[in-house]
Amino acid sequence: MNTIIDPSLPTRIHRIYNELASMGSLEPSQRVNHLFSELVSISMSRSRGEADEVLGDPAVSAIREGLWRVCSRGEYELERHWARRIAAADDPAAELRSFPYAVNYEKLTRLELSGLRGVRDEPPRRVLFIGSGPLPFTSILLAERLGVPVSNIDADEDACADARALARRLGLSEKLGFICADALSCSDLSEFDCVFLAALVGMNRREKSRLLHHLHGVMRPGALLLVRSSQRLRTLLYPEVDIHGMAPFEPLLELHPHDEVINSAIIAERPGATGSPADAVTC
C-alpha cells in the first residue's frame, strides 16, 4: 500500500528553514519560538512510511545538514538565554524547573539511566558530557541522581562561562566541572566510566565517525559511550546515528522514545578488558 503524506510538509519544512537561516539572530523571540515549535510539531508522531517520503523529498534532502546547524544555533541561544535567566533569579532551582524543555530532559535522562542500568550492574562513578552547552541540564540531573561528579566539555568559551556561573548559583560547583576544549584535543579520558556525546556534536556521518575513532583511542577499555541520536522525522532536528556504524565501539543497546522526547540514544562499549581509571582528564 502506498503511503499518503501531507503534500505541504516538504514545503513547510523548507519555508521554516529558509526563514530561520536568514535571521541574523536566533535568540528567543515570539517568531523564533514559533518557528522552532512548528518544526518540532512536524517531527512528531509520523509513520515510518510518511517519514521516509518526506525525508526522501529532494528539497528536504538538500537542507538536512543546514537544518541541523540552524537547530544547533537556536538551541545554543535558547540555552544561553535561560542559563543567564536562571543564574540571575532569586530562586535559581525553581527557575531551572521552569525551563520550557525541563520535562523532556527529565524523561530523556531517566530513560538513559535506565538503559545504563540495563547494560551494567554498577552505576558509573565518573561521567563526562561532551557538548554540554550553556545550560548543562543533563549533567545537573546526572550529578543529582547518580550522586557522582560530572565533567563537561564544550568548545565555546561563552558557553563554559555561563555554565560555570549557573553551577555556582545552583550550589553544584563541587559536582560539575567544566573544560573549554574541543573533544578532539583530549588525549586521556580514561578516568571516566561513561561518556555522553550530545546529539549536535558532529553534524554529519564523517564528523561523527572521526569523533568515535578519537574517543576509542582515549577512553579506557570497558567504558561506556552514550551517543544521542534521533529517528524518523526527528532527524530534521538532530542527526541520526546508525547503530551499525558505531565501530570501533561495540553497540549494546538502542533506545527510541515515542513520546514528546526527541532524542534517541545508543549505548556502546569501548572494547577490551576493564582497567583502572586514571587520575585526571587531559585536554
What pLDDT score was predicted for residue 278? 45
Domain boundaries, the chain: 9-91, 102-269
| Confidence (pLDDT) at 276 | 43
Residues 269 and 187: their CA atoms lie apart, in Å, by 18
* DSSP conformation class of 174: T
CB count, 10 Å around CB of 234? Answer: 23
Q: Identify the DSSP state of 283.
A: -
- E strand segments, the chain: 127-130, 150-154, 176-180, 194-197, 224-229, 250-255, 264-269
> Residue 242 gets which letter from DSSP?
-
If 0-12 CB within 10 Å is exposed, 13-18 middle and 19+ buried, where does residue 279 land? exposed
Which residues on adjacent β-strands are paired with residue 180?
154
Whether a cis peptide bond, with omega within 30° of 0, leads into 239 is no
Question: What distance in Å separates the CA atoms of residue 241 and residue 256, rounded to the nearest whole number?
Answer: 12
pLDDT by residue, tens only, the chain of 283 residues? 454 556 689 999 999 999 999 999 999 999 999 999 999 999 986 678 889 999 999 999 999 999 999 999 999 999 999 999 999 999 999 999 999 999 999 999 999 999 999 999 999 999 999 999 999 999 999 999 999 999 999 999 999 999 999 999 999 999 999 999 999 999 999 999 999 999 999 988 899 999 999 999 999 999 999 999 999 999 999 999 999 999 999 999 999 998 889 999 999 999 985 544 444 567 7
Q: Cα(116)–Cα(104) distance, rounded to whole angstroms?
A: 18
Burial 107-117 (b: 16+ CB within 10 A, else e): ebbebbbebbe
In single-letter form, the type of residue at position 47 comes to: S
What does the block give as the cell for 110?
531517566
Please state, as a whole number, how many other Cβ atoms lie within 10 Å of the Cβ of residue 150. Answer: 28
Fold of 102-269: Rossmann fold (3.40.50)
pLDDT at 277: 44
Q: Phi, psi at residue 253, to the nearest 5°?
A: -160, 145
Q: In sequence order, which ranges of 89-204 are alpha helices (DSSP H)? A: 92-97, 102-119, 137-146, 157-169
Q: pTM, whole model, 2 decimals?
A: 0.92
